[in-house]
Amino acid sequence: MAQAYRAYCPQLNADRFVGRHPAKLSGVKRPPCSLHHLPLSSVVMKTSRLPIAVQQAVMRSLREKLAQANLKLERHYPEPRLVYQQRGTAAGTAWLQTYEIRLNPVLLMENVDAFVNEVVPHELAHLLVWKHFGRVAPHGKEWKWMMESVLGVPARRTHQFELQSVRRNTFTYRCKCQQHQLTVRRHNRIVRGEATYRCVHCRSDEHTSELQSRT
């Protein structure tokens, strides 16, 4: 299976849960970003639905940054494939084995300038690091160097885009200190007795829920 580096994970607030199975603690597998999030659904947008001007701006950013990197690195790294089918709340991912960048079309349409100036270079940097250094830490010193010294872009690991439009129905769970939004998938796991979730702050389990529509 091709490995993906999930870049630009959304900045989290305090309402995170730690997954716990009845028998043992089972942490949710995290993407390479230091911050992880509850998986949320989004509508897959076909390329044909994106304005040509937006597609051209994204491709221009990719090619300009790639040319800049090849000049500084004295290499001839190929152009990666662009795919506008990134789901959920991630702005984009870099897929190493298939050498492609997947962008979230919904967030792209809402944040065109940020995608062109930051997200595209961010994902490109992951692929360039893999080509130049091999398999290293996703957001390690090599990636930071590639972003800042080669591509000339601030090495920010997360985005803070508004996520309302890419969220679907969630269930509100209450612990002793706050409310938490869980996806339908996690809610169903609780109902089936397959998992419980514990607040990372007060350490209490959730105990009530109600459906919140975010469509």
Q: Which residues are catalytic?
A: 123
Residue 116's SS3 state is helix
Phi, psi of 173 (to 5 degrees): -115, 140
**What are the structure tokens assigned to 24, written together?**
């043992």
Q: Which amino acid is at 75?
A: R
Distance of CA 190 to the CA centre of its chain: 25
Kindly give, in sequence order, each residue whose CB lies less than 8 Å from that of residue 81, ignoring residues fewer than 6 positions away.
98, 99, 100, 101
Tokens of 105: 């079309």
Local structure of 121: helix, strand or coil: helix
| Structure-token match 């459906």, residue found | 211
8 Å CB contact between 201 and 14: yes
Q: Where are the alpha helices (DSSP H) in the chain?
A: 52-73, 105-110, 112-114, 120-133, 141-145, 184-191
Q: What are the phi and psi torsion angles at 117 (to 5°)?
A: -90, -25
Return all residues near 106 (Cβ < 8 A) that are at least 6 apart: 42, 43, 45, 165, 166
